[in-house]
Amino acid sequence: MPLRFDKWLLAAAMALFGASVWAAELTVSAAASLTDAFREIARGYEAQHPGARVLLNFGASGALLQQIAKGAPVDVFASADQETMDQAQQQDLIAERRDFTRNALVLILPADSRLAPGALGDLAQDGVKRIAIGNPAVAPIGRYARRALENAKLWTAVESKIIHAQNVRQALDYVARSEVDAGFVFATDAAVMKDKVKVAFKVAPDVPMRYPIARIAASPNAGEAKRFVAYVLSPAGQAVLARHGFLQP
């Protein structure tokens, strides 16, 4: 009787853990704005590499960095700005970083909004009461938006109207719900909810908004991670990004 019980236990253990050991499982942390594009890229990658499994983890780039810094088992990191990746590099967390895509900054309004701001300066008007941006402490979109406003000498004028969202997708959601009068998001995010939001104008950035991708140094799946990064950079991956509105890096 005891012998048979041991065999059952072993079989159960193998069923539970064996599956993950044999399949190549990759954990990818990507900026929130990459949600739809990376889901499609992951499916394409799995189709091309049978047996591979890509686990996606989306959030504000800064928040994702914190998880990695505290030891989360991430294999690949794609952030929405250079600054976050610089911090990762400073902390010796990454190996081999490459820029893989670029985005644009837009100001969006709820689809049924009666306001019509044409430029950043219009945000200082009374009609605009609440503006959503991702929290600059953790979200690149927030930093870009804040820098744009500071460069236009408008930050102090609109600071009291700023509502911090946890990440760019939450900012998008606030605008879609009309909880705010306007919001700063990436052009690709605006496209995701084009029936609920409309683009007021594009904001010219002071630096191109290039997205870097890197393999995490401590990852035990170096080979798989390299293959995934290569796929993102490949024509197949780039085509997916272009379809979602991203620009050439």
Partner 1 sequence: MDMAWSALGLSLKVAGWATALNLLLGVGVGFLLARARFPGRDLLDSLLTLPMVMPPTVLGYYLLVVLGRRGWLGSWLQESFGINLIFTWQGAVIAATIVAFPLVFKPARAAFEAVDGQLEQAARVLGVAEIGIFFRVTLPLAWRGILAGVLLAFARALGEFGATLMIAGSIPGKTQTLSVAVYEAVQAGQDEVASTLVLVTSAVCIAVLMAAGRLAPGRIANR
Regarding 178 and contact with partner 1 (CB under 8 A), the answer is yes
Using CA atoms, how far residue 181 sits from 84, 174, 234, in Å, is 28, 9, 39
List the one residue out of 247, 185, 194, 229 whose CA is nearest residue 32.
Answer: 185
List the one residue out of 162, 169, 168, 175 whose CA is nearest residue 111.
Answer: 175
Cβ 163 to partner 1, closest distance in Å?
6
Task: Please name the residue that has the structure tokens 């938006």.
Answer: 145
In the complex with partner 1, which residue's Cβ is closer, 115 or 236? 115
List the one residue out of 98, 54, 102, 101 whose CA is nearest residue 75.
Answer: 54
- In angstroms, the CA 147 to CA 158 distance is 13
Cβ 87 to partner 1, closest distance in Å?
8
Site string for partner 1, 42-71 (x = CB under 8 A): ------------------x-xx-xx--x--
Regarding 163 and contact with partner 1 (CB under 8 A), the answer is yes
Regarding 165 and contact with partner 1 (CB under 8 A), the answer is yes
In the complex with partner 1, which residue's Cβ is closer, 177 or 202? 177
Query: Are the CB atoms for 184 and 141 separated by under 8 Å?
Result: yes
Regarding 89 and contact with partner 1 (CB under 8 A), the answer is no
Among 53, 98, 102, 130, binds partner 1 (CB under 8 A): 130
Cβ 132 to partner 1, closest distance in Å?
9
Cβ 84 to partner 1, closest distance in Å?
11
> In the chain, what's the furthest Cα-to-Cα distance?
80
Regarding 11 and contact with partner 1 (CB under 8 A), the answer is no
- In angstroms, the CA 65 to CA 178 distance is 31
Cβ 99 to partner 1, closest distance in Å?
23
Report how many residues bind partner 1 under the rule CB under 8 A.
17
Segment 131 to 160, residues that bind partner 1, using CB under 8 A:
135, 137-138
* DSSP class per residue in 20-81: HHHSEEEEEEEEGGGHHHHHHHHHHHHHHSTTEEEEEEEE-HHHHHHHHHTT---SEEE-SS
Regarding 213 and contact with partner 1 (CB under 8 A), the answer is no
Torsion from C-alpha of 234, 26, 76, 62, nearest 10 degrees = 130
In the complex with partner 1, which residue's Cβ is closer, 44 or 62? 62
Cβ 138 to partner 1, closest distance in Å?
5
Using CA atoms, how far residue 228 sits from 26, 122, 172, 207, 210, in Å, is 9, 43, 28, 27, 19
In the complex with partner 1, which residue's Cβ is closer, 110 or 237? 110
Cβ 128 to partner 1, closest distance in Å?
14
Q: Where does this chain bind partner 1 (CB under 8 A)?
A: 60, 62-63, 65-66, 69, 130, 135, 137-138, 163-166, 177-179
